Structure 1
Amino acid sequence: MAMERANLLNMAKLSIKGLIESALSFGRTLDSDYPPLQQFFVVMEHCLKHGLRVKKSFLGFNKSLWGPLELVEKLCPEAAEISASVRDLPGLKTPLGRARAWLRLALMQKRLADYLRLLITRKDLLSDFYEHSALMLEEEGAVIVGLLVGLNVIDANLCVKGEDLDSQVGVIDFSMYLKNDIDDYRSEESQIASILDQKNYVEELNRHSTVHGLQGRVDSLEKSNSKLIEELAIAKNNIIKLQEENQQLRGENSLILLKTQQHLEVTQGDVSVERDTYKQSRQGLDEMYNEARRQLKEECQLRQDVENELVVQVSMKQEMELAMKLLEKDIHEKQDTLIGLRHQLDEVKAINVEMYQKMQSSDEEMKKKNDMITRLEEKTNQITATMKQLEQSQQLETDLKIEREWRQTLQNDLGRERDAVAQLSTEALQINGLKKEFHRLQDENIQLKSICEDQEQALEELGSKLSESKMKIEDIKEANKALQGGQVWLKDKEATHCKLCEKEFSISRRKHHCRNCGEIFCNSCSDNELPLPVSPKPVRVCDTCHALLLQRCSSNPT
């Protein structure tokens, strides 16, 4: 898994770098048919698929990219518009197609890096969709998200409705990244090795990917297999011929070396510089030959593996055809390198002949060569100094280019921050106005509270006066009834305590006359009612009169 993450990180670096460089030379506005942009989406799809958990549904097993990408809508409300537009597209039927459309819309919005950065920060949510060692959960995912910031300088104009995103085959085309020049191959050998590892990894992915509806094409696959076997045999014969020619050239070189060694023993001190250059060229050619031979063996082994897998995995036709096309391209490239090596060997042979002729006349030109050696040493020192200066200038140019890009991004961020500061200043002014309005309302509230307290106090006074007036009216009514019945009513002013319980009267404990004896009692001591001779209806009587009247009624039932 670590090797896969490293391969995908290298592929992402190459695709993003190539896309930015080609877009800057192309004019920065790209469409759907631009090959580097298509390869970038394929690489991003492989990166997001790495370590994705297999989920079982009623239709079978599947790996869906749409699940983790839907989480961005919850983490960032601005992404809801993209998700809604993806769901509304009529031509998309699979989750993979929706994920591809989401990537294209996020790139057009120039928010792809921001959305994925929010996604990788929530590893607790991503762990439901990815394995523990997946690329999105490791440091490589953060590096890729950082590289995506550079894509903000590109303007993309993509038509998502016109593309068939459900049935696209996501295979990486390595011909856009491989180097064909031999000199570049020497200086960038490590990069090409990493690219070959990436190619092997993607081929393995292509072999294990699911393909539907290929069972009826077994016969055509067998025919193409036989053609590929014939082409492999022809390539092997060509390789054997080239090896024989290389052996012959090496034999001729050995004979020439034996002759030159005899002359070099005589003039060893004079021709030391030329012999060192010859040894270096010989060593470089041997290394290139061994490297080419090793790569040819690897290619032969790869072809043998392809032959075995063609017999076993019949259902992988489409991916195998693409892989074989890539292998054919690599064979042609290796044949070109072998032809270049052969030309170099011819040149070395011519150089050896010239050296043999020069060594015959070396005795006469000994003094001249000594002077030339000193001059050459001075020139080499000058050349090394100039080479160092050129390397420093190239490094400074690259650093300057990177700084310009970062400066542009920082200027964009500064503009956004200024807009945010202006918006916050306007909101602060609004808040100050609201604060003044709040203080004004507080003052009005205090005034209203004071008015309300005055009104409540006036209402309490009116209530007390009303209760007193009501009590007076009841006393007058009771006095009238007592006068009519001939009883002696006690005045309200004369009674301050209840006749029975002796509790003091107040606003809550009111005075009540007993309609039988005329004394004043509280409500609890005079809550009984009985009919009297004066009044046929039940009227208020005290507890003592109530007991006496009941006793009289029981003793005189008539």
Structure 2
Amino acid sequence: DVEKELEVQIGMKQEMELAMQMLEKDICDKQDVLVTFRQQLDDVQSLNHELSQKVQGSDNVIRQKNEIIARLEEKASQMNCTIKQLEQRLRQTQSSCQSAEEANYLFKQEFGEKILRLQNEVDLLTKQRSQLEMGLKDKKLSLHSDPHRINGSEQVKADQQQMADMKKELEQLREENLRLRQAGEESPSNGIHQSSRSSAEAEKERSTLERQNVICKLCEEEVSVTRLKRRCHNCQAIFCSQCAINELPLPSSIQPVCVCNPCHRVLLQQYSTTPPP
């Protein structure tokens, strides 16, 4: 019996040793698994940290982009306000331009025929004055050659008186023409501002023209002290002061500029027949 019990005890001991070996092996396996889990946990924590940093960086980028979008929206709002103001100014400018064109047309329609009639009278008086001057010159020459011609002297005095009367009438017509031009300058058509030459430049150009010795294109007489040289701003030709005594506003300049007599008549006819805008 004792031997049997000993064998049983030995068998149980062997089983316990085997169980202990298996338990140790299981513990070793579980420790390896635990180490693996810890390593995976570290990897997950590191990945989580990286993701957190990336999320934080993305939040900063989104915040910066939101700030940029807000600034752009503010600038767009300011530009919209500026565009509205510019559109309003454009409408006001177009309205002013239309009013100026209408006023300019009304002025031309109202004063065109009167200016044309006065200019025709001025041209007629100018021609008569030139004829009287030539006749007076001839009579003076004949009077000097024959001092005893009393009747001729009286005729010369009569011609001088007639020429003085015509000069006075011509001056009155010029004053009337100047008054009409000043009325045109005070009309709303001059609301559109355009720069003109200064008086110093005009005087310099006039003195330069006076020093040049040229022939008038219209009357073909040489320019002298009594017949100053003038340039027509419409056809750009050279005339004497008798053939270019008028001034009119051209499309390139609202202010009146010097024009020759033929261009003056043509421009007046164009102004008097200009259709409404």
TM-score, normalized by length of structure 1? Answer: 0.21
TM-score (norm 2): 0.38
State which structure, 1 or 2, has the greater radius of gyration over its C-alpha atoms: 2
Q: Which has the higher contact order (CA 8 A, sep 6+)?
A: 2
